Structure formats: C-alpha cells, structure tokens
Structure 1
Amino acid sequence: MEYDCILPTRRNFILAAGLLTLAPCIWAQSPNGSTSNILVLGDSLSAEYGIRRDSGWVGLVQQRLSQSNLPYTMRNASVSGDTTSAGLSRLPAALQRHQPSIVILALGSNDALRGLPLEMTQANLEKMMALSREAGAVPVLVGMRMPPNYGRSYAEAFASMYDTLAQNQQAPLIPFLLEGVATRPELFQPDQMHPTEEAQPIIADNVWTVLNTVLKRQP
C-alpha cells in the first residue's frame, strides 16, 4: 500500500459544532498494475474513523478490484466532518491530481446534522457531479439517510433528494450506504454514529453492487 500522507491519530480530531473534523488528507491505495483511478469523496463514514487503517469499506472494495484483476485504484479523499460545501471546494484539486475515471460522492450527512438547507445540499451535489463529468469521470451518487428523530418529513425529504438527483442527472445511485447496518446498534461504535470494523464488509457490499455494474460499462 502507498499513501499520499500519514493520517492523524484520533487525538488529532477536533470536535466542532457537534461534528468530528479532520484536516484534509488524501490517501491512496495503489496496488501494482492499476491504471485507472476511482476517487471517493466522503466524510467520516468513508474515512475509517475509529477503526484500523485499511479496514474500511474503501479498502475492502480495493481488495475486490484486485481479486477480480480489474485495473482500478481507489483514491480516498474523504475527510471526517465534511459537508457538501467542503467537498465541493476540494473536488477540483482532487480531480486534477488523480484524474479519475469514476467519482463516488458520499456526502450529505453532515449537512443534515448541521441543519443546512436541503436546496443547498442538492445544488452542491449537482455541481460535484457536473465537475466530475467535465473531468471525464462517471459520478456515482451515494444515498444517505437520517434517523427518524430528526422528524419524519425532513428524513423523507432528505432521502428522496438523492433519488431525485440520480434521476435528474442520470447518475448511478447507491441507494443507502448503511443499508443492513443502520438498524443494528451492535455494528456501531459507542458514539452510535460511526460503524465498526465489523460493519465495513456490509457497507462494501452495498457499494460494490452498484460499482461493479458501472465498471462493466467502462471501456
């Protein structure tokens, strides 16, 4: 494995506005022979928060790519605490650096936790999909969900936003990143927000089901 930088320890995390934030750090897993990049732009659910390095779903998807002899390298540009606005600001540099053929957009949860307008979240995701396409990459949207205690109407509107975006943009959609995990408290760390290491294979399955279909359409 090769990394573009050393990830901070958990002591380097800063609690701000109720969210864990982390200084931007793009890291890469680079098996020999990979020729195309898959960029992951996400938050703590994708950044291996609280679990061992290489044990997260991004690393597990990389293992499947390698086992299937598919010439792709996962490039994880996920940052804990990221909102869609933060992701949008970082995306151009990540696209230029990694020149991916696929971009997995796994953002939005922190927007909801901060109570940001859904219209802004949707607009940011639309811009990220447009930037990805302009860079020659296929955008893959990852659906998120909010707990029912945030209000049924808001939770439903938040979930349907991803469906609407995927339909309007004709983009592949991973319906819900935490499908099969969200309703199982034992698969979460003590904060009940971040999945455990044991949950990562389930999350990887959710991503792989859609990503594998996208890969089959690639030249």
Structure 2
Amino acid sequence: MLNKLKIASALALTITIAGCGSKPASTETTPTDTTKIAASASTKNILVFGDSLTAGYGLDDPSEAYPSVLQTKIDLAKLPYTIINGGLSGETSAGGKGRIDWILKQHIDVFVLELGANDGLRGIPVTETEKNLQTIIDRVKTIYPKAKLVMLGMQVPPNMGATYVKDFKEMFPKLATKNNMTLVPFLLQGVGGVRSLNQKDGIHPTAAGAKILANNVWEVMKGVL
C-alpha cells in the first residue's frame, strides 16, 4: 500500500501546483519514467482528473487529499488499482481540456472527472463548461474506449443566482447520463458549508473533510471497481 501511495504522490507532484488559480509556465513538464512506473505498478490505473480539491490544496501532506485516502480504501479492499492524482490547483474546464491529451499518455482503466467548480465560482456560462467537460470525456472515450467513467458532481453558492445554481447543478447528472458515467451527486456532501471541515478560505477541505470526500466517492465507486 505504501508503495502505491508513493508512486501516485510522485506523479501528483509533477502536475500539481501548490497555489489556487495560478499556473506558471515553469511548472509544465513532460512525461517521465515516473509515469511508466505508475502504469506498471498495478494491474489497473484510476486517473482522478480535477482541480485543487483533488490536488489537496492547503493540506500539510498530499497524502491527506481525498484521492490518497481513496487509495487506502482500495488497498484495504484488496482491489488491484493504483490511483493517479491528476489534480491541478486553479484548474478550469478549459484548462483541463488543454492538458487532457498529455495526461492520457499513460494507460487509464478508470477515469474520474472532478472539474467545473472554478468555472462556477467565476460565473462562466454553464453551456461553455458543459462543452469543455464533454470534450474531455470524448477524448477519454476515444483513447480508452473500455475505460469506466465516473463523474463527481459539484454545486455553486446561492449568491450566483437561482437560475445559474440550478443549471450548474443539473449539468453533472446530464453529462453522466449522456456518457454512461457513474455519478457521485455532490463531492462535497457533508463538507461544503461546514466551517470545522474546511480551511480558513471556506472552500478547501481540511484533512478531516478530505476523508469525508473520499467516503462520498468510495460509496459509489466501489461498485464500479
């Protein structure tokens, strides 16, 4: 289990920016031997592709982020999967669309999509976000047609306006149904809006909050695995 976590964490460090909303060009990398190690270390790979929630922004240790907690659950269940953390702090759906081809150079058996929250907080039109997410999904389906797909739903604060809030929330189940994806209705269920489970910014979960996020995903994804 420790070896798996080290491998996944090593890859995460090559693609994760420890900051919210900034992605300097100097952090761009090309695939390395670490990618090959991650691909061969387990029978199957799970790519969790997302933003700062996936990257573990603000946590003392990347192993506290929900993908790493999820890896522990997978190992305890003796399932032959290795999680690759594809989280990038500050990522939008447009940014994800731009880097998906690079990260798909490693073999993927299960694809977990966690993007859109930053779009919502910026008020980007839901139709635009939906189009970008569909493009990402299409790329995965084209390159790995047998991969299992999981969608992590998100919501935005009520101050974004009733219509926007409704359209944004409904976008995720809509995409999941269209693309035959397993849906986690709301990644932040039980954590969003709970002060004690969030960092000072009120947006990113604490280590305790991340454990709840992992539980939210596990309750749905264990059936997929």
| Number of the residue aligned with 2:138 | 130
AA in 2 matched with 1:141: M
Stretches of structure 1 that go unaligned for 5 or more consecutive residues are none
Stretches of structure 2 that go unaligned for 5 or more consecutive residues are 1-5
AA in 2 matched with 1:34: S
AA in 2 matched with 1:86: G
| Number of the residue aligned with 1:195 | 205
Q: From the superposition, tell whether residues 69 and 33 of structure 1 become closer, same or farther in structure 2 (CA, over 3 Å).
A: farther
Pair 1:99-2:99 in alignment: no
Q: Distance in 2 between matches of 1:185 and 1:148?
A: 17
CA contact (8 A) 1:24 1:79 kept: no
**CA apart distance, 1:58:** 0.3
**CA apart distance, 1:9:** 10
> Which aligned segments of 4 or more residues in structure 1 are displaced greater than 6 angstroms?
7-10, 25-29
Q: Distance in 2 between matches of 1:185 and 1:24?
A: 34
Pair 1:36-2:44 in alignment: yes
Q: Distance in 2 between matches of 1:189 and 1:144?
A: 18
* TM-score, length of structure 2 as denominator length: 0.84
* TM-score, length of structure 1 as denominator length: 0.86
CA contact (8 A) 2:12 2:87 kept: no
| Number of the residue aligned with 1:50 | 58
More helix by share: 2
| Number of the residue aligned with 2:171 | 161
Q: From the superposition, tell whether residues 156 and 100 of structure 1 become closer, same or farther in structure 2 (CA, over 3 Å).
A: same
- 5 Å matches for 1:164-175? 164-175=174-185
Q: How many aligned positions are there?
A: 209
SS of the aligned residue for 2:87 comes to: coil
Match of 1:89 among 82, 91, 98: 98
Pair 1:76-2:85 in alignment: yes
Q: Distance in 1 between matches of 2:176 and 2:40?
A: 33
CA contact (8 A) 2:113 2:152 kept: yes
AA in 2 matched with 1:4: L
Q: Distance in 2 between matches of 1:118 and 1:180?
A: 24
SS of the aligned residue for 1:50 comes to: coil
CA contact (8 A) 1:132 1:138 kept: no
Query: What is the identity percentage for the equivalent residue pairs of Structure 1 and Structure 2?
Result: 34
SS of the aligned residue for 1:92 comes to: helix
CA contact (8 A) 1:38 1:72 kept: yes
